Structure 1
Amino acid sequence: MRLLSLAFALTVALNFTATTALAGPVNFSDWRTHWFAIFSKVSFTPKGGAMGVDADGAVSIIYDRLGPQDWSARKASWRWGVTQSVPATDLTRKGGDDRNLALYFAFLPKPEAERLKGSRSLRKLLNHPEGRVLVYVRGGKHARGSVLGSPYLGARGKTIVLRPSGTGSHTEKVDLARDYRRAFGAEPTALVALALSADSDDTDSQISAEVSSLTLSD
C-alpha cells in the first residue's frame, strides 16, 4: 500500500459529516470512495448492510465519518468473506504489504474531535499528533491476533491481524477498548471515523470480497 494513499484516506475520513448511527448495523450506502480510486482498478459496491469489494492489482479506501452519537463506541462486530485472495505478505513491510481487507477505526481526543468537526483541512489531520488508528486486517502471513507496527502511521497506528491471507467467510467480534489499551497503553478516545481498504497493487493480484453486518456498540 502506498504511503500517501493510506495517509490521505485516513485524513479525509475524519473530515465529513457523519451518517452512521451507533444502534444497529452500519449502512454502507453513504460511504465515500477516496479520490485516488479514480485511478485504480478497485470497485466498492454498497448493498445496504454490506459492501462488495473487487480489486485488480490496485489499492483504494472507502470511508465514513462518525458523529458524536458514535464517539463512545467500544465494541464492533462484522462478517467478511473472501473468494479470491492476495498472497500472504509481510504487513510490516512498506510497499509490500498487500492484504485482502482492512477495517480502520480512527480515534481523536474528544476536545479535538469537537474542534475539528467542521474542518476540511487535510494537513491538520494528517499531522495530528493525538490521532490513533486501529487497523483490523484480513491478510498477511502473520498469526491471528498479532499486533504489528504500522509502516505508514508510526506510533499513531497499529495493525491487528484477525485472519491471514486466504479465502472463506468469518464473523469477527472485537473489543476496541481492550485493543486500544494493548496497542497504545491508554484508554480509548472518541471513535471519529471508519474506513475500509482493499490492497493488491504490490503483488499485482486480484481480490474479490465482501464485508457485511458491521455494527458498533458501547
Structure 2
Amino acid sequence: MRVVWLLLISFTWPVLASSAEGTRIENFSSIETLQPAWEPLNFPKIEKHTRYELVTEDGMQVVKAATSGGASGLIARVTIQPSESLVLRWRWKVSNVFEQGNARKKSGDDYPARIYVAFQFQPEKAGFFERAKRKAVEVLFGESLPGNALNYIWANTLPKGEFVPNPYTEKTVMIAVNSGATNVGEWVTVERDIVADYRKAFGEAPPPIVGIAIMSDSDNTGETATAWYGDIQLNQ
C-alpha cells in the first residue's frame, strides 16, 4: 500500500470515485445539496478532512469550509476545451491566513482557500516512467490521473501575482491571487484568464480542463481556518 500511496502523492492527486463529466459548473447559490455536482476530494494517508457545507452568508448561499489540521476538497468534473481565452471568476472570503504558510516549502504548503484547475494528461509529452506510474494507478484504482494543474491560492507571504512551482511537483503551479492579511474577513472577487496563466506557467497552450476543485487545507501547518466560497464561473 505504501508504494501505491507514493505513486498517488507524486501526482498530488487523490483517489476519486468515477462519475459523469459535464461542460458547466453548478453554482453553489442554486444547488440544494453539494453532491453529485461536487464530489469529495480525499487524499491517501490524510485521515482528517476539511468540513464543507452549504450555508447562507451575507444573504447568499455559499460553501463554508472549515479546516483544522486536515485536508480534503470538493471537485466538479468537467471536460472543457479552452479557446483563445477562458476566464475563471469567483469570490471568496477567509477568516485568517496561516502563520506558517509558505508556498515554496512542503511544510508550509497549506492555504485557507484555493481553487484547483486540473488539465488532461498528455501521454505524448510524458516519459516512459511517468506513463508506467499512471498506468499502475489506473489499473489499481480504475482512475485516470490528470496532467498539469494551476492552483489559485490565498497565500501567506508569497507576493500577489507570483507564480511558483508546487514544492511537491513541478506539474502544479501555484498562483497567488490574494496574499497576507489584507482583505481577511472580506469578500474578494477574483478573475483569471486560465489560458494566459497556463501559457505563463507551462510555456504552451492548455489541453482540456478535466476538473475544477476548491480546497482549504492545513495538514502541513496544523493550523485552523474557515473559508467561504461563492459561485465559480467559466466564461469563454
TM over 0.5: yes
* Residue 133 (1) aligns with residue 149 (2): yes
User: Structure 1 residue 46: deviation in Å?
Assistant: 3.2
Aligned letter for 2:51?
A: S
User: Structure 1 residue 36: deviation in Å?
Assistant: 4.6
Q: Relative to structure 2, which stretch is displaced further, 162-171 or 39-48?
A: 39-48
State how far apart, in whole Å, the 1-side matches of 2:144 and 2:16 are.
Answer: 8
Q: Relative to structure 2, which stretch is displaced further, 170-179 or 186-195?
A: 186-195
1:163 is matched with: 178
Q: Any gaps of 5 or more consecutive residues in structure 2?
A: 1-5, 125-136
User: Structure 1 residue 110: deviation in Å?
Assistant: 8.4
User: Structure 1 residue 132: deviation in Å?
Assistant: 1.3
State how far apart, in whole Å, the 2-side matches of 1:211 and 1:160 are.
Answer: 18
Aligned runs of 1:188-207 on 2, under 5 Å? 188-207=206-225
1:142 is matched with: 158
Aligned letter for 1:162?
A: V
Aligned letter for 1:18?
A: E
Provide the secondary structure at the position in 2 that maps to 1:21: coil
State how far apart, in whole Å, the 2-side matches of 1:82 and 1:181 are.
Answer: 29
Per-residue CA shift, 1:137-164, capped at 9, x if unaligned?
012311000000112222x211101112
State how far apart, in whole Å, the 1-side matches of 2:90 and 2:10 are.
Answer: 25
2:38 is matched with: 31
Aligned letter for 1:172?
A: V
CA contact (8 A) 2:106 2:220 kept: no
Aligned letter for 1:106?
A: A
Per-residue CA shift, 1:20-54, capped at 9, x if unaligned?
626x8466822111345983152011359632100
Aligned runs of 1:64-79 on 2, under 5 Å? 64-67=76-79, 70-72=80-82, 74-79=86-91
CA contact (8 A) 2:109 2:167 kept: no
User: Structure 1 residue 197: deviation in Å?
Assistant: 1.3
CA contact (8 A) 1:19 1:66 kept: yes
CA contact (8 A) 1:71 1:192 kept: no
Change (3 A) 1:31 1:178: same
State how far apart, in whole Å, the 2-side matches of 1:107 and 1:178 are.
Answer: 14
Q: Relative to structure 2, which stretch is displaced further, 185-194 or 82-91?
A: 82-91
Aligned sequence identity (%): 24
| Max Rg structure | 2
Q: CA RMSD in A?
A: 3.3
Change (3 A) 1:102 1:32: same
Change (3 A) 1:66 1:146: same
Change (3 A) 1:35 1:106: closer
Aligned runs of 1:20-169 on 2, under 5 Å? 21=24, 25=27, 29=34, 30-36=37-43, 39-46=47-54, 50-67=62-79, 70-72=80-82, 74-87=86-99, 89-108=101-120, 122=141, 125-126=144-145, 131-154=147-170, 156-166=171-181, 167=184, 168-169=186-187
CA contact (8 A) 1:25 1:49 kept: no
User: Structure 1 residue 19: deviation in Å?
Assistant: 4.9
Report the number of matched residues.
Answer: 202
* Residue 4 (1) aligns with residue 9 (2): yes
User: Structure 1 residue 91: deviation in Å?
Assistant: 0.6
State how far apart, in whole Å, the 2-side matches of 1:7 and 1:82 are.
Answer: 24
Provide the secondary structure at the position in 2 that maps to 1:182: helix
Q: TM-score, normalised by structure 2?
A: 0.72
Provide the secondary structure at the position in 2 that maps to 1:180: helix
